[in-house]
């Protein structure tokens, strides 16, 4: 038997590592944990796990519809954003066609495209940012999807509203753009894109969001896409039945209404983002300007050389070699104690003076 060439060429996903006894701040998870309302909601449906879930995620779609002020047929709920990307590729890209994105971004775009034996065209980031002009030059008559991560994972950088609007204007009708906004809720820049208005302006735009970050539900795997019903319903046809389980649906629905948890998370990120940026700049570690719940900075040497020593001292961060950035580390903002611990470790190992 011969493994299909497109599958054989695919690289396994490299998740953020964890080490017993160390604080895991390598995967952009919520340091405050899940929403208490979500925990209660998931607990309340435990006695019903012998029943299949609602395959249409009706209640969750209804809540999202109200939040986005769009009809329910504009929404696709899936087993994390990863599945959303795969479903979009399954429905809308064929062998011989291509998608376009950047090299130093979330690897699951590449996975989704290669899974269906299509070509992934990638350009490099420019100073840590998506290069929309370079991406545009890669588009041809066989391009079906453009993937943009905003803010970008792993750099935390963003393209503003005018830049995204300008890029979307004039794109050919044979493709659509996936704007991955997994971290958009953390963005505070006044010119950050208003994707809700962009959706109403551009029918070839699909926006994706996740419950893994802000809402602290990474372990339950819930994500969604919102956009033109033709694109959304096409992708929905490719979904496995009952792809979002009972606990995930109940927890996500409850988390949407837990304003206290949401506010506490955003306040922590805002405060610690400012603090860590300032402290890393003092140490000349070149932090990139982030609008996400993490910071990307340079260790001036391969992170692999120091990763174990940092982890052994109590903090796990992300080595970005799999993203093509071997000397860069990504660190999820933790509590002030966690963040100070990392800074002390860096001072010790690198001989830094703040």
Beta bridge partners of 238: none
pLDDT tier for residue 159 given thresholds of 50, 70 and 90: very high
Inter-CA distances, 140 with 116, 130, 165, 284, Å: 19, 19, 20, 41
Q: Could you tell me if 89 and 99 are in contact, meaning their C-beta atoms sit under 8 angstroms apart?
A: yes
CATH topology of domain 36-256: 3.40.640
Q: What is the predicted pLDDT for the residue at 216?
A: 97
Q: What is the predicted pLDDT for the residue at 327?
A: 96
pLDDT in tens, 46-69: 999 999 999 999 999 999 999 999
pLDDT in tens, 18-44: 778 899 999 999 999 999 999 999 999
Higher pLDDT, 352 or 7: 7
CA distance linking residue 209 with residue 289, whole number of Å: 21
Q: Which residues contact 181 (CB under 8 A, 6 or more apart)?
A: 150, 195, 207, 208, 209
Q: What is the predicted pLDDT for the residue at 113?
A: 97
Average pLDDT value for residue range 114-136:
95
Which CATH entry fits the domain spanning 16-32+259-350: 3.40.50.1000, 3.10.290.10, 3.60.15.10, 3.90.1150.10? 3.90.1150.10
What pTM does this model have?
A: 0.95
DSSP annotation string for 44-60: HTGGGTTSPP-TT-HHH
Average pLDDT value for residue range 337-353:
92
Average pLDDT value for residue range 111-131:
95
The residue extents of the domains of the chain are 16-32+259-350, 36-256
pLDDT tier for residue 14 given thresholds of 50, 70 and 90: confident
**Taking 60 as the threshold, does the pLDDT of residue 354 lie above it?**
no
Residue located via tokens 């065209």 = 121
Percent of the chain with pLDDT over 90: 92
pLDDT in tens, 215-249: 999 999 999 999 999 999 999 999 999 999 999 99
The secondary structure element, H or E, covering residue 20 is: none
For all residues of the chain together, what is the average pLDDT?
95
Structure tokens at 49: 């796990």
Q: What is the predicted pLDDT for the residue at 12?
A: 78
Structure tokens at 131: 């290069």
DSSP annotation string for 152-217: -TTT-----HHHHHHHHTT--TT-EEEEE-TTGGG---TTS--HHHHHHH-TTEEEEEESSSTT--
Q: What is the predicted pLDDT for the residue at 353?
A: 59
Q: Residue 15: which of 2, 4, 3, 24 has the closest Cα? A: 24
Q: What is the predicted pLDDT for the residue at 13?
A: 74
């Amino acid at each position: 038997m011969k493994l299909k060439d497109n599958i054989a060429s695919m690289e396994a996903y490299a998740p953020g590592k964890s080490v017993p006894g160390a604080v895991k701040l390598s995967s952009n998870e919520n340091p405050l944990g899940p929403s208490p309302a979500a925990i209660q909601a998931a607990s309340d449906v435990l006695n019903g796990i012998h029943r299949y879930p609602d395959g249409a995620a009706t209640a969750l779609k209804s809540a999202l519809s109200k939040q986005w002020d769009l009809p329910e047929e504009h929404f696709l709920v899936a087993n994390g954003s990863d599945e959303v990307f795969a479903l979009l590729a399954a429905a809308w890209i064929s062998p011989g066609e291509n998608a376009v994105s950047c090299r130093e971004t979330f690897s699951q775009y590449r996975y989704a495209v290669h899974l269906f034996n299509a070509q992934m065209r990638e350009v490099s980031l420019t100073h840590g940012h998506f290069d929309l002009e370079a991406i545009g030059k890669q588009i041809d008559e066989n391009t079906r999807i453009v993937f943009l991560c905003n803010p970008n994972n792993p750099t935390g950088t963003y393209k503003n509203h005018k830049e995204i609007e300008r890029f979307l204007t004039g794109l050919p009708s044979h493709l659509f753009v996936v704007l991955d906004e997994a971290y958009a809720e953390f963005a505070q820049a006044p010119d950050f894109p208003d994707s809700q208005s962009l959706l109403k302006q551009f029918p070839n735009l699909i926006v994706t969001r996740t419950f893994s970050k802000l809402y602290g539900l990474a372990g339950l795997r819930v994500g969604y896409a919102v956009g033109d019903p033709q694109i959304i319903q096409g992708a929905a046809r490719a979904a496995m039945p009952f792809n979002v389980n009972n606990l995930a649906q109940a927890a996500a629905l409850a988390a949407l209404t837990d304003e206290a948890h949401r506010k506490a998370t955003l306040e922590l990120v805002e405060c610690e983002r400012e603090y860590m940026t300032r402290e890393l700049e003092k140490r000349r570690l070149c932090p990139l300007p982030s609008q996400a719940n993490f910071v990307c900075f340079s260790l001036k040497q391969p992170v692999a050389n120091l990763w174990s020593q940092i982890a052994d001292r109590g903090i796990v961060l992300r080595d970005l070699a799999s993203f093509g950035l071997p000397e860069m580390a990504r660190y999820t903002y933790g509590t002030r104690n966690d963040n100070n611990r990392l800074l002390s470790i860096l001072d010790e190992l690198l001989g830094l003076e703040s």
